[in-house]
A and B are shown apart, each in its own frame.
Chain A
Amino acid sequence: MSTEVAPEVAKTRRFKFNWVDSFLWFVRVVAIIAITVGIVGSFQKFAAGEGPSAVAWRDLIISSISTGSMYGLIALGYSMVYGVLGFINFAHGEVFMSGTMVGLISATLLFNNGFWESNPLISIFVVLLVAMITSTLVAIVIERVAYRPLRGAPRLIPLITSIGVSFFVQYSFAGLFGVALRNYPPAPPRLAADLTVFGTTFPISGTRALVIGVAIVSMIGLWYFVTKTKTGSAMRAVAEDKEIAGLMGIDVDKTIVTTFAVGGAMAGVAGLMWALLFRGVDFLTGFLPGIKAFTAAVLGGIGNLPGAMLGGIMLGLFEGVGPLLVLDGLGIPGVSQLKDAVAFAALVLVLIFRPTGLLGERLGSEDRV
């Protein structure tokens, strides 16, 4: 039987021309050619001694990785919520912003006391705690008020709700804190200097090293929490199948709250990183990192936690190095303005090339296609 059918199927497949597929192939080919030409152009420039020097490239890569690890931490929240509830929590960027904003109060108070200068690490730890607690609380409240009544609604409805929540939180913070950009106190000189361990100086500033270190520690902590603890297995069970998890005696609502809380805590950590890396915060701070972090989550494979972290770092590299490496090589002027455009283009290209992400997506039984 099968021997008769198979060639026929193959034949119809072979002769079916589908112009959507051809268009997508065209996009793929153009993208690959453009990227190759751009990279070759940049290398030629570099070989000719034009453009950024080797040291500048190295610094760019290091700073991209530290920004990327921040995206990765925010992406964890998107990924976990998507894995469990199957919708994009558009307001997650605002959860991140709330941590940064409230952390600012503690940082300013510590700075005014002089404690920030004398005990930088303890101060940063305090700010970290404040940011984490705030973000966690905001995430829990959002879940309770806006998302819980929507369990089982058509999937676009929670997404639209989360857009509304995002606006509401943004402009609440605009009302509370005012619309002006505020700055964190500058990192203490000891921290801002290049990292020195046992007399060896590394070409990375202390803050960036701290950011990457905190990201690694949080990731390990999260990994331990999700894979080794009972709550973590409950989370994975709920992500797999809410109904059956409920039948197995898991409190589904409580587990979902935990998911939001953990995602919020990670966003709070990212909030501290933002403070260390960029210092300036306002009520719109969460928007772009939020969307980029979602891109990172998709890039790594949504629902996949190591994937989110990897995707974040990749995205940081794309948007940090990409404009100079690819666009500059193509002869496009003013490439640094196109940083965000590159990040969004990366999202489109990932979804065209590999919609399941780098490490593959992990979705619950209902969301799998």
Chain B
Amino acid sequence: MRLDPHSRKWGLVAGLIMSFMAAIGMIRSFDDRMMINPVLSLGYIALLLSPALFGYLAARGEVNILEEPERNIAEGASKGAMAGLIAGAVTVAFLLVTSPFDLSGFFPNISTAMYDVMTFHQGLGVGSLLLVAISALVGALGGALYGVGDVARNGIFRALGWVMLFALFELVVTDVIDFRPIVRFIYVQGGGLQFWSALIIGGLAWWLGVRYQGKRAEYSDAAKASEAGSRLRYSLIGVGILLLIVLPMIVGGIVNELLINVALFILMGLGLNIVVGLAGLLDLGYVAFFAVGAYGMAVLTSPLSPTLTPALNWWVALPIVMVFAAIAGVLVGTPVLRMRGDYLAIVTLGFGEIVRLLLLSDWLTPYFGGAQGITRIPGITSGPVTISGTSPELFIYMTMIFVAIAAYVSHRAQNSRVGRAWAAMREDEDVAEAIGISTVSAKLLAFVTGAIIASFAGALFSAKVGTVFTNSFDVLVSIIILVVVIVGGMGSIRGVALGALMLIGVLGGPKSQGLLTEFSEFKLLIYGAILVYMMLKRPEGLLPSVRRSRELHGAEAEQDAWLDRKGDFVDEDAEEAVT
């Protein structure tokens, strides 16, 4: 039998990914998190995801959009099995080649613990065979999945997806249910789903999915088709708002803490979205405005601020901070007005770093506290109530109010004269100038609006944490906000919210942990991978704005269709399993 080229290619890729994940210690460290007790840990899921996914791709082979593909279970399974076999063999080769040497001096993660996990605790000989066999089996399952009919495949994806969600978000589920017998029924003490509850969840998801398949599409179509201003749309929005108001009351402190983080990043994402998504100016130093907000608020409200101690009320200080942020926006915005888009990116990055280095320096220490930072920032006092980080269930409403303001401003700006000017400028600056748009004021307006929104986030952040240090403001923050905006969809408000929920909430922010604490060591690696993947396969983001995707794909139709190489697209089915 001739070796199928797709099986060979995807098998090799899968094997390399598996070896890589082993070498960076991902699988070893994920192994500590049990998903389905006692059989499956997150480490093995991460390990076996590659053969499954690439087995599926091998079975799919060349994508031809024009023809309905032939789907055949046996053929798919055999191709997938071949890919899985190769993947397993590559991984075993990696293990066997490295095992005779003691590499832990250079590569701390290529350790005996890693070999132990990779070989299923069976020793190198038996374990290697086991790894190849399991990898081939999983590959075959992945390939067979391609062969089965649409209904069955969607059902399987849905079932797997829900089981994974329940296993991953154990913390939230226990927090929401908060009733011991039920929690004990679903989860094992010390982590992981009970085996039978995993079966029940999967079965339910399948059954409900099949039962309501047609109806769900109907509903979502209706929601999409509902015009702005129609009754259905208003009621949907109303339900959403109600849910947001009720949600913080249901969940506990930890989740609320997390939601505040997410909300702060939504806020900053909305601000950056105006600059990057609407006006098309790639700002890599956005954290500088966040720092202006946080430090401005700290200096104005804290009784311990080094030199200036007005010790104002938060609400009194807020307009002053906004003015500072606006000035900072103009100061950063003006020198970069004439620059090419990519120079602008690097220069703003430079500005962001300059701000951080100056705050840290001896020169400005008398004003901003240098490395000691500013402490004892009071909470937000409005009349008798003081809201600070110690009461996350109240603080979340505070941040929500500001998110709502920012969302409203972006929404109105987007559909106004300014928004159209930004869109025109983003598409072609010279043409925009020629038809009478003042690009100078349009750009500055974008910078100033973005800066003010970021200063809101900074002001809230300092009131929540109570202290400000320079290390909360390094370039990483700017980049992570950018990833949030890009993953969600540049120019799209819903997109930013989704991006922040998925990235900050689940993976964790630059300094904070997300729901999946296991990921914190590798979250920036995953951020990088997501960013590259999104740019290659879906540059318009998960929830794109209509205009943006038209821009990106319109250019595609006219030019040489660079996006058309979606040949090896890891398609929606797989994504559905994740989300």
Contact = CB atoms under 8 A, between A and B. Distances in A.
B25 A152 contact: no
A32 interface: no
Given A175-B109, A177-B107, A352-B335, A160 B354 contact: no
A332 B362 CA distance: 8
A52 interface: no
Contacts of B343: 298, 351, 355
Nearest to A171: B525
B52 interface: no
A168 B528 contact: yes
A326 B529 CA distance: 42
B528 A345 contact: no
Given A164-B532, A166-B528, A153 B353 contact: no
A341 interface: yes
Contacts of B335: 24, 27, 348, 351-352
A88 B346 contact: yes
Interface residues of A, number: 57
A151 B562 contact: yes
A79 to B, nearest CB: 13
Interface in A317-355: 332-334, 337-338, 340-341, 344-345, 347-348, 351-352, 355
Contacts of A174: 24, 525
A146 interface: yes
A153 B106 contact: no
A167 B363 CA distance: 32
B531 A160 contact: yes
A156 B562 contact: no
B560 interface: yes
Interface in A156-170: 156-161, 163-170
A7 interface: no
Contacts of B337: 20
Contacts, number: 160
A341 B531 contact: no
Contacts of B340: 369
A353 B369 CA distance: 33
A340 B352 CA distance: 12
Interface string B518-533: 0000101101111110
Given A20-B440, A337-B362, A351-B335, A157 B527 contact: no
B531 A155 contact: no
Contacts of B107: 176-178
B101 to A, nearest CB: 11
Contacts of B360: 337
B363 A333 contact: yes
A108 B351 CA distance: 38
A352 B334 CA distance: 10
B327 interface: no
Interface string B322-340: 0000000000001111111
A348 B333 CA distance: 12
B518 to A, nearest CB: 14
Contacts of B512: none
Interface in B216-266: none
A344 B351 contact: yes
B361 interface: yes
B559 interface: yes
Interface in A64-116: 87-88, 104-105, 108
Contact of A157 (B349, B363, B539): B539
Contacts of B20: 172
Given A344-B350, A348-B335, A338 B363 contact: yes
A104 B107 CA distance: 12
Given A27-B335, A164-B528, A338-B357, A178 B342 contact: no
A345 B360 CA distance: 16
A163 B350 CA distance: 15
A224 B24 CA distance: 40
Contacts of A351: 335-336, 339, 343, 347
Given A172-B24, A348-B350, A351-B335, A178 B109 contact: yes
A99 to B, nearest CB: 15
Given A24-B334, A167-B528, A152 B560 contact: yes
Given A165-B532, A333-B363, A338-B363, A348 B347 contact: yes
Contacts of B351: 344, 348
Contacts of A309: none
The 6 closest A-B pairs by CB, nearest first: A175-B24, A164-B531, A334-B362, A167-B528, A168-B528, A344-B350
Given A155-B341, A163-B531, 19 more contacts: A20-B334, A88-B345, A149-B562, A149-B565, A150-B535, A152-B560, A156-B345, A167-B528, A168-B525, A178-B108, A178-B109, A294-B346, A295-B350, A338-B358, A338-B363, A340-B353, A341-B354, A341-B361, A355-B339
28 contacts: A88-B342, A108-B106, A150-B535, A152-B562, A156-B282, A157-B539, A158-B535, A160-B282, A160-B486, A161-B532, A164-B531, A164-B535, A167-B524, A167-B527, A171-B522, A171-B524, A171-B528, A172-B20, A174-B525, A175-B525, A291-B349, A298-B346, A332-B363, A337-B361, A338-B363, A344-B353, A348-B351, A352-B335
Interface of A: 20, 23-24, 27, 87-88, 104-105, 108, 146, 149-161, 163-172, 174-178, 291, 294-295, 298, 332-334, 337-338, 340-341, 344-345, 347-348, 351-352, 355, 369
